[in-house]
Amino acid sequence: MNNIQHLVAGIKIGTACTGLKSTDDLTIFELATQSTCVGVFTQNAFCAAPVTISKQNLAATSPRFLLINSGNANAGRGESGLQDAMTCCEKLAQTSNCKANEILPFSTGVIGEPLPTEKICATIPTALENLIEDGWQQAANSIRTTDTVDKIASIQLNIDDKIVTITGIAKGSGMIRPNMATMLAFIATDADIPKDILQNCLNQAVEQSFNRITIDGDTSTNDSCILIATGHSKQTIDNIEHTNYKQFCQAVTDICTRLALAIVRDGEGATKFITIVVEQGNSSKECLEVAYTVAHSPLVKTAFFASDANWGRILAAIGRAEITNLNTNIIQIYLNDICIVKNGELADTYTEEAGSKVMQETDISVRILLGRGEQQEKVFTCDLSHEYIQINAEYRT
């Protein structure tokens, strides 16, 4: 993706190497005093220790620092995991002269292994010494696990003759189906926005971006998306009726969408980027039910990897979606602009040659018309390759 980055006044970022990886694997965000911070987190019942602590601290105070380690998820560790996360927060608090509950911890990596607190605590001073405003690229690289590319998105808006910046980074490549993927995202703006308004904006943005992607249907224990507003641009948006709220919120959604799509394109072993559009549904919910049933089908995903126009796999997936009284006799299915199914059966105009030609492409759209209503939804996914299996089979070895 285009890694142009605009610096966000009021944000400094430092990275360092703890030894968990061969490159920098510890990242610290320093937030300007009085910054507003909100988040959206995993709904996995086995949420990781840093998620639990971040949610508690976010509710109790205004954060001054984000502390992110990659290479270890600190999940599935019970009380010891919570204590390990707190130990790292306390070390950063002591070193930076703030309170431990003013720190939000985040972790990503292997589940179930003890967090190497000694290595992290020993490296925190170095990361603090490395704090710079121009640290977004280093941070994007530092938070990666199986990612093959950095994921950065940045835009600037002109609002009432004031330039407002929004910049974000994300990591994620596998274990991706956010239900708010392993996914972390950190986005910052220099706009001045109250916490409740900022939370409303993030909720809308996440619902239309990170909650519309899937690699493998697995929701991680560690998913977190954080939005920070430093207020340094002096552009205030203090309610959802504000004339500039819609413009700002759309820009945040655009940033989240660009990061989300970059995650899909970097899906573990992915060779195809697939957009699934479900139209003419009775509700958004049933459109998403159909879209995700198709997106999560291993048979559909492997057919895309093989460039095999096996349209019957798509049809079968639609048929097993949990939709009441689905009339299969009126359903239409398209691969890009090629109609493969009309009125519930193979279209008279379809040829195997045309279908196979579409399946050779790297960007493919599956369009499904249910003929039940006026709602539509869109989901983004990828194929399932040999490499995905190899990456995950060897993840801990």
pLDDT in tens, 285-297: 999 999 999 999 9
pLDDT digits (tens, 9 = 90+) for 191-208: 999 999 999 999 999 999
Does 182 participate in catalysis according to the annotation?
Answer: yes
Q: What local confidence, expressed as pLDDT, does residue 9 receive?
A: 96
Separation of alpha carbons 72 and 83, rounded Å: 15
Counting other chains too, the contacts that 77-80 makes at CB distance below 8 Å and 24 or more residues apart are 77/49, 77/112, 77/114, 77/115, 80/114
Q: What local confidence, expressed as pLDDT, does residue 331 receive?
A: 96
Backbone angles phi, psi at 185, to 5 degrees: -145, 135
Answer for the pair 62, 37: CB distance below 8 angstroms, yes or no: yes
User: In the structure encoding, which two tokens stand for residue 145, read together?
Assistant: 């696990």
User: In the structure encoding, which two tokens stand for residue 289, read together?
Assistant: 């039910």
Assigned CATH for 11-265? 3.60.70.12
Q: What local confidence, expressed as pLDDT, does residue 148 receive?
A: 86
State which H helix or E strand residue 276 sits in: strand 273-281
Pairing of strands 375-382, 273-281: antiparallel
Read off the amino acid at residue 288: L
Separation of alpha carbons 231 and 194, rounded Å: 10
pLDDT digits (tens, 9 = 90+) for 104-159: 999 998 889 999 999 999 999 999 999 999 999 999 999 998 888 899 999 999 99
Q: What is the DSSP letter of 328?
A: G
Separation of alpha carbons 26 and 70, rounded Å: 7
Assigned CATH for 273-393? 3.10.20.340
Q: Which of 18, 182, 253, 293 is catalytic?
A: 182
The residue ranges of every structural domain in the chain are 11-265, 273-393
- How would residue 265 be classed by pLDDT, with cut points 50, 70 and 90? confident
Backbone angles phi, psi at 110, to 5 degrees: -75, 135
Q: Is residue 269 classed as helix, strand or coil in its secondary structure?
A: coil
Q: Is the pLDDT of residue 242 over 90?
A: no
